[in-house]
Chains A and B, each alone.
Chain A
Amino acid sequence: MHEEDNGKVGDARSAAGMFLSGLAVSLSIPGVILFASAGGFGALARDAGLSIGNALLMMGVLFALPAQVVMVDQLARGGAFLGAVLAVALIGIRLLPMTVVIVPFLGGSKASLPGKAVAVHAVAITGWIEGLRRLPDTPENLRLPHFCGIGSGLIAAALAGTAAGYIAAGQLSGPLAAALLFLTPIYFMLALLATAAQPSDWLAIVIGAVLGPIAYWLAPGFDLLLTGLIGGSAAHILARNWRIKRGAGLGGPGRRP
């Protein structure tokens, strides 16, 4: 999770320098994957009948692919406004714990609150992983500019990817169009696995993956809610009992300051 060369950026010790080195993350592997999966979203949005402007708007203001996919789905099926609000709110809950986990790395109480409120917009799977990877080695007073740089770069990569995917989707042959849409599920699953740090994470992934299709088959519309609540609670309880039985301490999600 945490190699020597990560987050150490030579002599770029000014706020501007750390912002720029954060921007550069968008040119590394995580940025490329985000570009490609945003391309998948662009293709999906086009498939659903969204205009390119609204696809870009959604990418920018939601900046979390699961919520975007759900919202495109709602719009495409002519779902009610309230349905979209509920679905997006439910799936966005995931951002709450992710934000909670990364806030301690944003420079403590000395960093400006409005600055942090803007910065947390970048909390989505990629930004979260890269933040947790790079911020611990960044001097505390430079963490907020660094994370703002990471976020800005990733959002730019995501917008570019959305536009590219949207345009490409109309011109790709069947197998390549399918591959573009395949990027979203495979990337989500691997990102979940990459951030899994404790037994309840692994259990939640496996139980959720099994329960998801069954819930969709039984109760489409409520499937994600049911999967999350039932699968997550089961994973939580199982992991807790298992931990008590082993007498082990609770494993935290990664390193904290």
Chain B
Amino acid sequence: MTDLGNGWTTAAIILLVAIVAHEPWRWLGLYLGRDIDVEGARFQWVRAVATALVAGLVMRLLIFPAGALGGPPLWLRLAAFAAGVAAFFAFKRSLALGVLVGTLVLVAGSFWLL
């Protein structure tokens, strides 16, 4: 473990990044939300870009994991992920059951491989 995350310098960076780069989007959303046309093309495009970005992040976390998630092999991670998505749809779009089934498949598979 490095000690990069300790101390006040990192705390200051976190706070600064939040104020400069993150919270303004919420304030801007509050401002624009008064009269933006949510059915307009610009809003729809922003929404699609944001959605694709998070979907890409999800697959990056899954396929190129950092740390302990790299323990189980790729095929098991993908199988658990697919099982979670399948359970989500099978149980009327239940977030809880989707997360539960996916995680259980990963854990069961990992112990079975041990």
A residues touching B (Cβ–Cβ < 8 Å)?
Answer: 29-30, 32-33, 36, 43-45, 47-51, 53-55, 57-58, 61-62, 64, 66-67, 69-71, 73, 75-76, 78, 81, 84-86, 88-104, 116-117, 120-121, 123, 169, 174-194, 196, 200-201, 203-213, 215-216, 223-225, 227-233, 235-236, 239-240, 250, 252-253, 256
From B3, B14, B71, A177 is in contact (CB under 8 Å) with: B71
Chain B, 1-50, CB within 8 A of any chain A CB: 1-7, 10-11, 13-15, 17-23, 25-30, 32-34, 36, 38-39, 41, 43-50
Asked if A93 contacts B46 (CB within 8 A), the reply is yes
Q: How far is the CA of A199 from the CA of B3 in the complex (A)?
A: 45
**Known A71-B17, A253-B38; contact A192-B51, beta-carbon cutoff 8 A:** yes
Q: How far is the CA of A80 from the CA of B7 in the complex (A)?
A: 17
How would you classify the secondary structure of chain A's contact residues: helix, strand, loop or mixed?
helix
Q: How far is the CA of A203 from the CA of B17 in the complex (A)?
A: 31
Size of B's binding interface in residues, CB under 8 A:
81
**Known A97-B46, A188-B54, A190-B95; contact A48-B66, beta-carbon cutoff 8 A:** yes
A-B contact pairs, 10 of them (CB 8 A): A98-B29, A123-B29, A178-B71, A179-B107, A184-B61, A190-B95, A192-B58, A204-B55, A210-B59, A239-B48
A102 to chain B, nearest CB (A): 8
* Interface presence of B57 (CB below 8 A): yes
Asked if B107 contacts A204 (CB within 8 A), the reply is no
